[in-house]
Amino acid sequence: MRRRLITPFKTLLVLSAVLMLRSDCWDDGPAGSASIGAASFSSSLRPWIDTHSHPWGIGTVCTSPSCVNACITAMDATGVKKAFFINPPEPAGSGNYADENTNAAAALYQPSRLFYGIGGSMLQSEIDKMPDSGVATEAQKLNFQTIFTTLISSTPAAVVIGETAALHLSYYPEHAFEENPVNSDLFYLLADLAATYDLAIDVHIDVVTQTMQTPSFYVAQSPNNPSTLQANIPDFEELLDHNPNTRIVLAHVGRDSTGAMTPGLIDGLLGSHGNLYAQIIPQENPPFTPNSFKDANDNITPGWLALVQKYPTRFVFGSDTFYDGSTSFRTLELAQKFLQQLSSDLAYQIGCTNPVAIYKLPSGC
């Protein structure tokens, strides 16, 4: 793996990160503008399930009963019926690395509203130790499988494996850069284990279709980012083909971090790989990229809307909210605003039906 960790803690930068994450909760992106406010849709909230949120991040921890209750308040204000707690994809020793038990413990404060996932820390950190060749030793594979088996034995059962990462750009010095071949031995092993246990994998990939210069935005944001980024979509297609029984959810679809996250790219991937699903994040993009799910007025852009309509069973929402005790989040409000712009049938399909089907949830909206 190519990764760079984490320059010494700088109080001012961390404070900035905390303030940024507090309101908008990108695990890896810049903050947006002020809250929309729920008033415009409070009388007709559409229900949805949030398949991607974090009770633990850099400077954000939400593992107490009072914080989880605040999370429920935020969910109620924006129509979120259920949410997944997962760990961000982090190398061991980074500022965002979380105890794997934390998600389950936090989720169990509100078991009728919260599910949890496994592996964002302990499995991802093993993936991060892989060499660039993607070839693991037998000892590494055995260790990985042992960690998985331990995590999967927790009760109640986890509903997803994640958040994993192939390419994860760094947004500030305390935030890890991770670049792993997604057709590596450990990703293949993870895909096979996921199929065996009938779990979906949530994977973060800042998509790169051909080797490119790292956008200057990221170079300026963090010294952890390298000067070039390697193509990862061909490798990703190999992972998708490795085990057709493995359901793989591409996280943060609609947040174009590299300029390559276009509706056309996702259309091609969904059309070619029946085991791929797309997790919508109706958020602002970094300032240099044009392919946002929404325009400046928070309306769905035509290309993405057409794609959602073309593949109604393949999309879910994943807000990437970092809970911290606040009771309102723009990320959640944007998702509700997105739902309001769909037909009622399509909104229910994406918000409620698809998560139950893709993640085999024991209960829905």
Q: Which residues bind Zn ion (CB under 5 A)?
A: 27, 163, 204, 320
Q: Which is nearer to Zn ion, 27 or 284 (CB)?
A: 27
Q: Which is nearer to Zn ion, 163 or 185 (CB)?
A: 163
Element (H, E) at 220: helix 216-221
Quote the least distance from Cβ 24 to Zn ion, whole Å: 12
In sequence order, what are the beta bridge partners of 315? 278
Pairwise CA distance, residues 172 & 194, whole Å? 32
The one-character DSSP state at 301 is P
Taking Cα atoms as reference points, which of 58, 4, 27, 35 lies closest to residue 334?
35
For the packed helices 185-196 and 138-152, what is the interaxial angle rounded to 10 degrees?
Answer: 30
Q: Which is nearer to Zn ion, 140 or 279 (CB)?
A: 279
**303 with 267: CB under 8 angstroms?**
no
Taking Cα atoms as reference points, which of 269, 262, 281, 218 lies closest to residue 239?
269
Element (H, E) at 178: strand 177-179
Quote the least distance from Cβ 166 to Zn ion, whole Å: 11
Q: Which is nearer to Zn ion, 78 or 170 (CB)?
A: 170
Radius of gyration of the chain (CA): 19
Taking Cα atoms as reference points, which of 341, 288, 72, 21 lies closest to residue 175?
21
Quote the least distance from Cβ 251 to Zn ion, whole Å: 5
Quote the least distance from Cβ 137 to Zn ion, whole Å: 28
Taking Cα atoms as reference points, which of 53, 46, 116 lies closest to residue 80?
46
Q: Which is nearer to Zn ion, 243 or 321 (CB)?
A: 321
Taking Cα atoms as reference points, which of 132, 162, 170, 164 lies closest to residue 4?
170
Q: Which is nearer to Zn ion, 169 or 352 (CB)?
A: 169
Quote the least distance from Cβ 312 to Zn ion, whole Å: 24
Pairwise CA distance, residues 196 & 61, whole Å? 32
User: Which amino acid appears at position 215 of this protein?
Assistant: P
Quote the least distance from Cβ 85 to Zn ion, whole Å: 11
Q: How many CB atoms lie within 10 A of CB 17?
A: 22
Q: Which is nearer to Zn ion, 163 or 235 (CB)?
A: 163
Quote the least distance from Cβ 138 to Zn ion, whole Å: 30
Q: Which is nearer to Zn ion, 67 or 136 (CB)?
A: 67
Quote the least distance from Cβ 242 to Zn ion, whole Å: 22
